[in-house]
Structure 1
Amino acid sequence: MGYQVKAQHQALPLKSVFRIARGAKTQADVVVVTLSDGEHTGWAEAVPYARYQESVQSVLTQIEQVAEKLTHFDGTVSAANGLIDTLPAGAARNALDCALWDLQAKQQGKSVADMLSLKEPVPCITAQTLSIDSPKAMAEAAKALGHPPMIKVKLDNQDIVTKMLAIHQASPDSKFIVDANEGWSIHDLKACCDSLKELNVVLIEQPLPAGDDAELLNYSSPIPLCADESCHTREELEYLKNRYDVVNIKLDKTGGLTEAFLLAQEAQSMGFEIMLGCMVGSSLAMAPISLLTDCAKFVDLDGPLLIKTDVKNGFDIIEGIMQPLNSALWGSANSRVTV
C-alpha cells in the first residue's frame, strides 16, 4: 500500500507585526501536508523555524525525501511511522507524523483521542500573546484583550519591570507568563524576578540561552521557570532537571504528536509541569497538541488569533477560553481536508 504525499508552502499574513527578543515578522510561513492511501486523506500543518536552522525549502526537501519512500511503501502503519521517524525532530517530521495520525483516524473510524486513550478535551484557558513594544503600546494591547485570565508577554532585556508594570496596571486581574526567548542573562533574571512575582507573573519562559543555563542550577527562582528552546524531546529531560520546573511541548520541536505524547508522560513522571505551546500558525497546527490539554498546567495555543484568516472549522477562543477541537478540522473520521 503506497501513500501519496503532497506538501505546499502557505504564507499566512498576521494581524499586526509580531516581535520577540530575536526579531519580528509580518506573516507566518507554514507547510501543509496531505497524506493519502487512495481512499482516505489525512493532513497537518507545520511551521519551519529559523532558530532551529529550518526554512520552508529545507522542510519541503525533507518531506520529499520521505515521500518518495512512502509512495512505494508496502507495510504496516507502524512501519510507516518508523520511516517518518528517520527524520530529525522538527517541522518536517511533525507534518508527516500528524498527517498520518489524521489518516489513521479516518481509516479506523475513530478519533485520535480514542486511539491514544486520552480524555476528550474540555474548554481551557489559553494564554494570549503580547509582542514586544513600548510600555505604553503593550499596556494598550493588554487592555484591548479584555482582561483575559492569562496573558503571555514577550520581553527582551530592556525595561523588563517597567513594561510589566504598565501591562499589569492595564489588566490587573490577569496572570502573566513572561517569555524571554533566550534574551536575558542570569543577572537580568535575578534583578527582576521578585518584582515580577508581585505583578502576577506566574511563569518565566526560557530566560537564558539554551545550553548556556548552568547558572540556573544554583538559583532558586521565586517564579517557576519553563524550558522552551532547551526542550525538544525526551532526550533533554535529564539535563533539564534542577534547572527548570516546567517544559514547553511544541509539535514543531518534538517532531509530531507521537513524541509529544511520550514527552508529556515522561516529563510528568520526572516531576515537571507541562506547558503546551505553538509557533505562529493556523488552527490546523494547534489541533494535534490540543488533545493533551488535560495534562497541562499552562496552555499557550493562541496562534490562530495572531493571523488574519484562520482555516475552516478552527478553534473558538473567546475571552481567553479555548473551546475543544472541532472534529471536522482534524483527528477524527469526520475531519475534512480543505487545502
Structure 2
Amino acid sequence: MSRQLQARIESFPLTRAFTISRGAKTAAEVVTCIITDNGVTGRGECVPYTRYGETVEGVLKDIEAFAEAINSGTSRQELQSAMPAGAARNAIDCALWDLEAKLTGTRVSATACRVLVRPVPTAVTISLGDPADMADQARAHASQKLLKVKVGTSDDRARMHAVASAARDAEIILDANEGWNESNIREHLLLAAELHIGLIEQPLPAGKDEMLAHIPHPVPICADESVHTLADLEALSDRYDAINIKLDKTGGLTEALLMRDRARELGFGVMIGCMVGTSLAMAPAVLLAQDADWVDLDGPLLLARDRSPGLVYSGSLVSPPSADLWG
C-alpha cells in the first residue's frame, strides 16, 4: 500500500472568549488528520473535548497509533469496529471519506445525501454572560433566524428574558450544557414556553436525566451529552424529543449517517451540531445536515482566522463544501 497517515495539532484563535456553563476558551484547539495515497490527499479535523476525557495530545497519539493500520489498507468500514467512537476516529473517518472522493472522482454528497445539496440555515451561538451582554450579542445578530443561547446556571430567568426580548424575530434554542437541576428545571421549562423558546438542549447532566421521563415537556428537549452513538438512542426515547448529532461524538460521518436514520425511525427530531472548529470540521456535518430539523454549524464564525478555502456563510445560510475544502 502507498498510503501514509500524518496528524498534527493546530490552534485557531477566537474573535472573543467563548463561554458555556463549564468554562471559557479563547482558541479552537484541533487535530488534523492527513491521509495520502498515490499523491492524492484526504483530510479530516476533530476537536477533542475535555468533557469526554479527551485532550489534543491524547487524541493525536491515538491517531498516530492507528497509522500502521490505515497505511496497510484498513477501510472506513473496518475502522468502525477497530477504534472507539470519539474525536480520533472522527478525524480518520472524515479523512478517508475525503480521500475516497478524490480517488474516485465521486463527491461525498452523492453517497451521503438523500436530497440535492443546498445551503442550509445554521444557528449562531450567543455565549454565556450576564443578561445585558447576552442581549447585546443577540441584537448584534438581529438578522439571524436561529440563535443558540448558552445558559446553564442556577437561575437563568434574567438571561432568557433578555435574549428573548432582544431577538423577537428569531427562533431560540437554549443550551444548558447539563447546568440545570431537579430544583430549577420545571421553572425554567415553563418560562421557556412562555417566551416561545423553540428547543431546550441537555438541561440535566448525562446519566442523571431520568427525571425527563416523568415531567412535562412544554418545550421540546434535545439530548447532547447524553447521546453519542447509535447504541444510545433507544434508551433515550422516553426522555428526549430530539438528539444532537456531532461527528466528534459519533466518531465520524460513517456512524453519524446510521445514527441519523435510526433516530428518524424512533421519532426523534434531529439537530446537527459541532464543537468549535474550522470549516474542515464543519464540512462533512453540512452534508449530514441537509435534511436536519435544526443546524448548529457556526464554529468558523467564531474564529478570528479560518482555513482557506473555507465554508461560505451568507446571512443565516452555510453552503456545502467545495471540493477544494473537503469531499
Q: 1:214 aligns with which of 199, 210, 226?
A: 210
Structure 2: 5+ residue stretches without partners: none
Residue 324 of structure 2 corresponds to 328
Residue 100 of structure 2 corresponds to 104
Residue 50 of structure 1 corresponds to 50
Task: Quote the Cα distance in structure 2 between the aligned partners of 1:42 and 1:85.
Answer: 21
> Does the alignment pair 1:287 with 2:283?
yes
Change (3 A) 1:209 1:123: same
The residue type paired with residue 232 of structure 1 is H
* Percent of pairs with identical residues: 47
Task: Quote the Cα distance in structure 2 between the aligned partners of 1:120 and 1:307.
Answer: 29
Residue 173 of structure 2 corresponds to 177
TM-superposed CA distance for 1:84, in Å, is: 5.8
Instruction: Kindly indicate whether the alpha-carbon contact (under 8 Å) linking 1:66 and 1:84 is maintained by their aligned counterparts in 2.
Output: no
Superposition map of 1:235-314 within 5 A = 235-314=231-310
Residue 230 of structure 1 corresponds to 226
Instruction: Kindly indicate whether the alpha-carbon contact (under 8 Å) linking 2:123 and 2:297 is maintained by their aligned counterparts in 1.
Output: yes
**After superposition, what is the alpha-carbon deviation per residue over 1:55-88, rounded to whole angstroms, capped at 9, x for unaligned?**
01110111011102223x1x5x64x541464111
Instruction: Find runs of 4+ consecutive structure 1 residues off by over 6 angstroms.
Output: none
Residue 39 of structure 2 corresponds to 39
Instruction: Kindly indicate whether the alpha-carbon contact (under 8 Å) linking 1:147 and 1:171 is maintained by their aligned counterparts in 2.
Output: no
Structure 1: 5+ residue stretches without partners: 332-339
Task: Quote the Cα distance in structure 2 between the aligned partners of 1:311 and 1:89.
Answer: 25
> Does the alignment pair 1:130 with 2:129?
no
The residue type paired with residue 54 of structure 1 is E
TM-superposed CA distance for 1:196, in Å, is: 1.2
Range that drifts further, 60-69 or 155-164: 155-164
**After superposition, what is the alpha-carbon deviation per residue over 1:129-188, rounded to whole angstroms, capped at 9, x for unaligned?**
011101001000110113311100000224312111111111111110000001111332
The CA RMSD measured in Å over matched residues stands at: 1.4
The residue type paired with residue 134 of structure 1 is D
The residue type paired with residue 163 of structure 1 is R
Instruction: Kindly indicate whether the alpha-carbon contact (under 8 Å) linking 2:79 and 2:93 is maintained by their aligned counterparts in 1.
Output: no
Instruction: Kindly indicate whether the alpha-carbon contact (under 8 Å) linking 2:113 and 2:288 is maintained by their aligned counterparts in 1.
Output: no
Structure 1 length-normalised TM: 0.93
Give the secondary structure class of the aligned counterpart of 1:291. helix
Structure 2 length-normalised TM: 0.96
The residue type paired with residue 241 of structure 2 is D
Q: 1:143 aligns with which of 114, 128, 139?
A: 139
The residue type paired with residue 7 of structure 1 is A
**After superposition, what is the alpha-carbon deviation per residue over 1:1-36, rounded to whole angstroms, capped at 9, x for unaligned?**
242011000011110011101111111100011001
Task: Quote the Cα distance in structure 2 between the aligned partners of 1:89 and 1:220.
Answer: 32
Instruction: Kindly indicate whether the alpha-carbon contact (under 8 Å) linking 2:154 and 2:184 is maintained by their aligned counterparts in 1.
Output: no
Change (3 A) 1:83 1:169: closer
The residue type paired with residue 45 of structure 2 is E
Task: Quote the Cα distance in structure 2 between the aligned partners of 1:188 and 1:322.
Answer: 36
TM-superposed CA distance for 1:315, in Å, is: 1.9
> Does the alignment pair 1:30 with 2:30?
yes
Residue-pair matches, total: 327
Instruction: Kindly indicate whether the alpha-carbon contact (under 8 Å) linking 1:121 and 1:325 is maintained by their aligned counterparts in 2.
Output: no
Change (3 A) 1:159 1:318: farther
Range that drifts further, 51-60 or 158-167: 158-167
Task: Quote the Cα distance in structure 1 between the aligned partners of 2:113 and 2:237.
Answer: 28
Task: Quote the Cα distance in structure 1 between the aligned partners of 2:195 and 2:79.
Answer: 48
**After superposition, what is the alpha-carbon deviation per residue over 1:75-131, rounded to whole angstroms, capped at 9, x for unaligned?**
5x64x5414641110010000000000000011111011123532321221110011
The residue type paired with residue 208 of structure 2 is D
Task: Quote the Cα distance in structure 1 between the aligned partners of 2:169 and 2:194.
Answer: 12
Range that drifts further, 112-121 or 89-98: 112-121
The residue type paired with residue 291 of structure 2 is C
Residue 336 of structure 1 corresponds to none
Give the secondary structure class of the aligned counterpart of 1:201. coil
Give the secondary structure class of the aligned counterpart of 1:221. coil
Change (3 A) 1:83 1:158: closer
Q: 2:88 aligns with which of 80, 89, 92?
A: 92
